[in-house]
């Protein structure tokens, strides 16, 4: 079959010519141009920061398990009474849930639109592009994000609603956590570990990218941003992993 390889003639575009003539007309940016991409990056950074804030608070709260059952159960109960008596019981928890859900939706939407735009801006892939840096990070972020999302759904069904927890006692979150990571349920611990490590990778890349978005350009700054992102992510991962491994090794029972 014959294929027409001739370049199609440029479309008649009266609009740009008209603009060039009318020097007084202010230069308009397309709604999909620079400014809206910047807004999306800001949305990513703000929603990401909110999620990161929650992640550190949650990790620090989980460490209460090392102070014993009473301490951990008291902390879990306190989560439901934050804001009382200014707010009725559970209200703060629901406000936090709404904010986290909005942040997750905003984060995923902005990431998807930005990734699509980047792909559309370069319709022909680089032939010699090695599988490093950009493409590697993008893949890690995408798959990491999917694992984290699946994990959060499982985690809520496990420790918030108790649907998938072997003990599921709402009055004793400590017992629920210990039952979760019992040696016989090694596959649960493995899934937790995979998800937490994914959170670590996601955070490391996210923090590093955020520093760039905020204008970090120098070589020294880049080194500092890379090291800071690494230290913060390793601290988060270690804090989270300490709980299942303490149960596995019998330190917490
Ligand atoms: C091994 C580490 C973890 C442990 C031991 C743990 C423990 C818990 C517990 C006990 C609850 C229930 C609190 C309650 O309702 O009384 C909970 C809820 C939750 N956790 Fe975790 N968690 C861990 C890791 C994570 C990670 C990595 C994430 C996020 C990526 C996460 C996100 C959440 C969320 C969103 C909730 C629901 C809070 C709510 O009820 O609104 N957790 N976690």
Rounded mean pLDDT of 215-239? 95
Rounded mean pLDDT of 128-142? 66
Name every protein residue with a CB atom under 6 angstroms from any ligand 1 atom.
55, 58, 62, 76, 79, 93, 97, 148, 152, 155-156, 159-160, 173, 177, 192, 195-196, 199, 240, 243-244
Q: Output the pTM of the full model.
A: 0.83
Q: Which residue is closest in CA terms to ligand 1's atom 1?
A: 240
pLDDT tens for residues 71-111?
Answer: 999 999 999 999 999 999 999 999 999 999 999 999 999 99
The percentage of the chain sitting over the pLDDT mark of 90, rounded to a whole number, equals: 66
At residue 135, the pLDDT reads: 63
Is residue 31 scored above 90 in pLDDT? no
In DSSP notation, the chain reads -----SPPPPP--HHHHHHHH-TTSPPPPPTTSHHHHHHHHHHHHHHHHHHHHHHHHHHHHHGGGGG-HHHHHHHHHHHHHTTTTTS-TTHHHHHHHHHHHHHHHHHHHHHHHHHHHHHHH--SPPSS--SSHHHHHHHHHHHHHHHHHHHHHHHIIIIIS-TT-SS--TT-HHHHHHHHT-GGGHHHHHHHHHHHHHHHHHHHHHHHHHHHHTT--SHHHHHHHHHHHHHHHHHHHHHHHHHHHHHHTTS--
At residue 26, the pLDDT reads: 47
pLDDT tens for residues 178-187?
Answer: 999 999 999 9
């Amino acid at each position: 079959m014959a294929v027409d390889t001739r370049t199609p003639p440029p479309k008649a575009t009266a609009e740009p010519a008209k603009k060039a003539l009318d020097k007084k007309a202010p230069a308009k940016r397309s709604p999909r141009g620079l400014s809206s991409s910047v807004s999306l990056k800001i949305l990513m950074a703000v929603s990401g920061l909110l999620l990161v804030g929650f992640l550190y608070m949650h990790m620090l709260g989980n460490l209460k398990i090392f102070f014993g059952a009473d301490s951990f159960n008291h902390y879990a109960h306190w989560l439901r009474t934050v804001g009382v008596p200014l707010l009725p019981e559970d209200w703060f928890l629901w406000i936090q849930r709404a904010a986290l859900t909005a942040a997750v939706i905003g984060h995923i939407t902005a990431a998807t639109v930005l990734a699509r735009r980047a792909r559309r801006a370069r319709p022909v892939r680089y032939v010699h592009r090695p599988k490093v840096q950009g493409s590697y990070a993008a893949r890690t972020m995408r798959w990491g994000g999917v694992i984290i999302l699946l994990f959060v759904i499982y985690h809520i069904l496990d420790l918030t609603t108790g649907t998938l927890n072997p003990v599921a006692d709402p009055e004793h979150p400590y017992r629920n956590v210990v039952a979760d990571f019992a040696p016989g349920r090694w596959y649960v611990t493995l899934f937790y570990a995979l998800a937490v490590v994914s959170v670590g990778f996601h955070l490391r890349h996210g923090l590093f990218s955020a520093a760039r978005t905020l204008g970090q350009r120098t070589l020294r700054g880049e080194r500092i941003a890379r090291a800071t992102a690494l230290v913060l992510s390793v601290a988060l991962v270690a804090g989270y992993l300490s709980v299942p491994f303490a149960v596995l090794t019998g330190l917490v029972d």
